[in-house]
Structure 1
């Protein structure tokens, strides 16, 4: 795909508008193509849907801190800062659309799509075709621009929602494949755990185990283990008088500084700040 961008207001190359007098409106759309490192750090008033076509990016927004690969998409929340950067110097390609409207929330809820989450979608060709149709509508710029554009955005959201629904229906069967290792993680997350150890419990290769785990729970085994540790740390910080060093050791970290760094990445504050705020 080629780099391109289209704007509702051609006199404003930002088109960052929160609209409340129209059902759904598309502010801008396009395709980003970069051959070198790319960084985006912003906050917008409208919804921002990003779909990865090629390359990888690291994404941070709200409590989310993860990587995205081709076939994955995210809808950034209005008024919430977001940051993403490309991984290395590989070519990066993603398509995007910004939209707003007094029913944007309702449409997203109807499609079962909370913002600020990464979704894996099958059917890249269909998604790209929808975006190309959206680009064509903006190129024509006739009286039906917004009606047509809104229609294609709703089609995208419905397509994503159906993918998510199918994934949830199949996740039960996938979770059965990793039931033993999941139980083991919950009982032993405070001990060192390896992917090989967990994969052996389910009689799967490491790569297959990682794939099944991620498809089932929407996060990698490492991210899941980290989540259990940080949740336990929050619980201990709220409800005990243990020191941060003691809590770090209890959840599996001998290095308190490393624990504090991870905790801040996940919660946005240090353990000391979290404990102080909860006790106020």
Structure 2
């Protein structure tokens, strides 16, 4: 699934969370894993951080290839199957419990990430691994101060996980999105669609729109409209073209639709804006 990192971070920022347990495990080659199937589904939501080795985890039938730098999340009461590994597999597992009453109050969430499965690719970072080791130690230390330290470390790990994942996503997708921005600026007067733009860069419309929004801050269509409105503003200020001619020059065949859209985005109709600049 496509993970909206901004929404994901927001949900964890708002949530009341309890860290239940932290495990540091090394599985030997072909050593069987304890699987959660049938009436023994996963008891807690959790994050699994791959540190060394390779294997495959499958949540509710969806497989995730686990290798260093990969993190997978699974929700409570899910089926989990784990493939045998030909080499040692080292990982940290953090079990946590969200406040389910609070989640119920946010029933309008587009995706409740705490109750689903997904993967993130933050890459390998020694700082993150060291924080995981500190969390593991703090979680096993009795006392209230250690409990506070455990919460602090868990939220710090989440921050780094989401930030590293976002930065990696931006670096890998940045070139294509920068090209898409340049294409919009050169072809804004044409009837562009998200599907057409995505196809130019070998992507489907939904992943392209997601990456564009994460990189730029607004959707491709909103960026296109914004650029058209800025170009229309220039023409209204510097040319004697009619409103209809300006509408066509920025990609709108219907002058009335263009006027409504211009007023929606600027607060003034094209005619009102032009009268203020003359």
Q: TM-score, normalised by structure 2?
A: 0.49
TM normalised by structure 1 equals 0.49
Tell which structure's C-alpha radius of gyration is larger. 2
